Structure 1
């Protein structure tokens, strides 16, 4: 088992001492997340809130646009899906990550407030993210973005939705940026056992999230809407058209092998993939960049992996 880097260990110890997500239940977990993580971050990245109509639905998906200052038009764009195990997460709780992603990559970031399980199990969230990708391309002139440079990004469960949207959208996606993706509903990787009691995310949490996303287990684990990972219902042929992909993984994360296996699958399918691995880091470590120098360095690595796409 990889040991947690001491700097990350100290940062985790300073976080509020809270029960595991699965022990709280949906409503209490959402309330806790809003208390601990919500609130806009400082910075000069401009924001604008919009709503994207859902096909065949009277409702709409809220999105928040982040544009770094002095960004030329048309600019590259990244449609971003937050983490939270398909159950948690809001535009506010993802604000810091979306701002830093925009500033680091020099892109307009379109953060998606997709529908959550258990009220909206698979494939509702996937449909929302896919629709926003298509809307961003179709609305490129209005948004001041380059329709040929619209990519996807996501964190944890959101990285799953981003990867799937890149494969399913009726629009070209030029890059996928996946932070510690949550991809295997069978929890088949060795890291799920090695780091079952890891900080910030446990195996029991992941099992709970997957069960809710799978409509209380009614959706079989090999349903192709659940994951792009071949062993979890996808297949090499489904990955042949994947865009160039950056996969960020953490060594002390039960989801470590989800990302590693997906990177290998993309390579086997002939895709272009770059894996950035941080052995002593926990799940979600990119959110600790203000307190842990290694996390800030990882963002600099990301800037090199996702250069300006002009």
Structure 2
């Protein structure tokens, strides 16, 4: 069956979607249905409404029958979310040590700003720098930073450890060439969502020159075991347990999933990991492993702010332009990044 965006012009779909999310909350509740309560949390009406709209459109999960269909599905969903921050952001291509990347620079940002090296999500199989363009623009504008987003190689064409190898290569390039990009070499963060959060965490563990801050959105941190949140939220909240199995099987062989480049939670020593803002979603199968990583960081005296957005679902960073709870959560994350980079230690001499 054809999807809504294949039948109706995208401009119409966008206007309808914006109109729906701009409705008063009681009206949104009528559309979304009865409140959803699970594991002691109540799903926000914005998240529930988004899931309702996704069911109407036919896009209910990240995975698909084929890799190509999954990639097309995620790319198509960006048609819904074209809004960008009002402040203009210049972009240019960067060859980050052989890894394609894109540099975002907000208009008027002074030279010597901090830099965020960002890795997109998508289960190491789908997604690209275009699917996460609005995320990078938002963080660049609202955290007052330059953002270098990385086009790491995807599985199954390039299975593990291609993605973490590219992540490390791009980060090392950023460290060596920060000044050329107009950034401060002593204020470099890593960040990412989901699989991208996994790669950012790997860089935080393994990079010779550790990042100055880490911004982790609902990161995948341990491929070796199943945790309770996968059982509780593994169906009906966008990212499913089936999706996670599908992505993992395309990405990494079972016998290698306990390696640090795949599961940074299992690193023997996390001392030296940068100060971190780690945010999870309450209705997310990845919730528990993200929070387990935060607790392990605390065991090694790493400054970490763990924030559970208890009423949201996986992927909320990409939906900030819908407003409401999604934008509130992203605003908090951008504020944490700005504080961590501008107020943190800057002297690397």
Which range moved further: 149-158 or 298-307?
298-307
Query: Could you report, residue by residue, the CA deviation over 1:159-181 in whole angstroms, capped at 9, with x for unpaired residues?
Result: 00011012222323100000000
**Is this contact kept in 2: 1:196–1:254, CA < 8 A?**
yes
Counterpart-to-counterpart distance in 2, 1:285 and 1:166:
23
Counterpart-to-counterpart distance in 2, 1:62 and 1:219:
30
Does the alignment pair 1:170 with 2:214? no
Query: Could you report, residue by residue, the CA deviation over 1:8-34 in whole angstroms, capped at 9, with x for unpaired residues?
Result: 111222233225344422111112222
Residue 275 of structure 1 corresponds to which residue in structure 2?
Answer: 306
SS of aligned partner of 2:278: strand
- 1:37-56 → structure 2 map (5 Å cutoff): 37=78, 41-43=83-85, 44-53=88-97
Residue 34 of structure 2 corresponds to which residue in structure 1?
Answer: none
- From 250, 256, 266, the equivalent of 1:220 is 256
Query: Could you report, residue by residue, the CA deviation over 1:253-282 in whole angstroms, capped at 9, with x for unpaired residues?
Result: 000101110000000111110011111100
Report the aligned-residue RMSD.
1.7
**Is this contact kept in 2: 1:131–1:169, CA < 8 A?**
no
Which range moved further: 83-92 or 164-173?
164-173
**Is this contact kept in 1: 2:115–2:184, CA < 8 A?**
yes
SS of aligned partner of 1:92: coil
Counterpart-to-counterpart distance in 1, 2:333 and 2:254:
38
Which range moved further: 261-270 or 295-304?
295-304
Query: Could you report, residue by residue, the CA deviation over 1:94-145 in whole angstroms, capped at 9, with x for unpaired residues?
Result: 1011111111211100000000011111111111111111111111221111
SS of aligned partner of 1:271: coil
SS of aligned partner of 2:42: coil
Instruction: Output the TM-score relative to the length of structure 1.
Output: 0.91
Instruction: Output the TM-score relative to the length of structure 2.
Output: 0.81
Residue 12 of structure 1 corresponds to which residue in structure 2?
Answer: 51
Counterpart-to-counterpart distance in 1, 2:73 and 2:281:
24
**Is this contact kept in 1: 2:210–2:272, CA < 8 A?**
no
Counterpart-to-counterpart distance in 1, 2:326 and 2:188:
26
- From 147, 150, 156, the equivalent of 2:188 is 150
Query: Could you report, residue by residue, the CA deviation over 1:182-215 in whole angstroms, capped at 9, with x for unpaired residues?
Result: 122134221010101032200110111111111x
Counterpart-to-counterpart distance in 2, 1:240 and 1:254:
27
SS of aligned partner of 1:290: helix
SS of aligned partner of 1:229: helix
- 1:1-310 → structure 2 map (5 Å cutoff): 1=39, 2-15=41-54, 16-18=57-59, 20-37=61-78, 41-43=83-85, 44-53=88-97, 60-214=98-252, 217=253, 219-230=255-266, 234-235=267-268, 237=269, 239-308=270-339, 309-310=341-342
**Is this contact kept in 2: 1:198–1:254, CA < 8 A?**
no
Q: Which is greater in Rg?
A: 2
Query: Could you report, residue by residue, the CA deviation over 1:20-77 in whole angstroms, capped at 9, with x for unpaired residues?
Result: 3444221111122222226865341111112223xxxxxx211011111211111100
C-alpha distance 42-280 of structure 1, shift in aligned 2 (>3 A): closer
Total equivalences in the alignment: 297
**Is this contact kept in 1: 2:191–2:197, CA < 8 A?**
yes
Counterpart-to-counterpart distance in 1, 2:219 and 2:84:
27
